[in-house]
């Protein structure tokens, strides 16, 4: 089994990374090949909505044509059996790097039509790890505000 983990935190050795590494350590102990990829080390941007991946019959159909650092990463994802996405929570959502990565990853494999379906060649197990530096006391206060 081949498992990739993606760290969407700019802090390579903090909470998100610690949890991703522990997850990979557990998978490795069961015989899996693992790799941690720090998204902030890569040079890429979000989807530019060129729709080249949607043009049926083109060489880019189902594949993002942008030649940046994600090109090689997408090949690794296609060869993997599982991925783990990890991100800190900033302003109530995942980091910008994680959003851009998921945008590019998911859009190229989504087919438009009467019934949406995936162009990805197989099912891939996916996990999410989200971290937030907040105490229980702070979170309980937020719950009161949200209600």
Q: Closest Cα to residue 43, out of 103, 116, 88, 100?
A: 100
Mean pLDDT over 65-77 rounds to: 95
| CATH 3.40.309.10 matches 2-146 | no
Contact call for residues 82 and 127 (beta carbons, < 8 A): yes
- Judge whether residue 144 has pLDDT over 50: no
CA atoms within 13 A on the CB side of 65: 12
Q: Closest Cα to residue 89, out of 135, 137, 140, 132?
A: 132
Question: CA-to-CA distance for 71 and 136, rounded, in angstroms?
Answer: 40
Domain boundaries, the chain: 2-146
Instruction: Output the pTM of the full model.
Output: 0.86
Q: Which residues pair with 82 in a beta bridge?
A: 3, 125
Mean pLDDT of the chain: 88
Condensed to tens digits (0 to 9), the pLDDT of residues 108-127 reads: 988 876 676 777 778 889 99
């Amino acid at each position: 089994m081949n498992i990739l983990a993606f760290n969407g935190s700019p802090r390579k050795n903090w909470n998100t990374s610690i949890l991703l590494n522990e997850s990979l350590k557990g998978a490795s102990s069961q015989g899996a090949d693992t790799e941690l990829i720090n998204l902030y080390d890569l040079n890429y941007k979000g989807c530019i909505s060129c729709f080249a991946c949607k043009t049926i019959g083109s060489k880019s159909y189902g594949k993002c044509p942008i030649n940046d650092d994600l090109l090689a990463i997408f090949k690794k994802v296609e060869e993997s059996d599982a991925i783990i996405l990890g991100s800190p929570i900033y302003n109530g959502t995942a980091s910008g790097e994680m959003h851009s990565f998921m945008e590019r990853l998911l859009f190229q494999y989504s087919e438009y039509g009467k019934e949406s379906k995936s162009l990805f060649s197989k099912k891939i197990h996916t996990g999410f790890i989200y971290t937030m530096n907040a105490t229980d006391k702070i979170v309980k206060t937020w719950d009161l505000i949200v209600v």
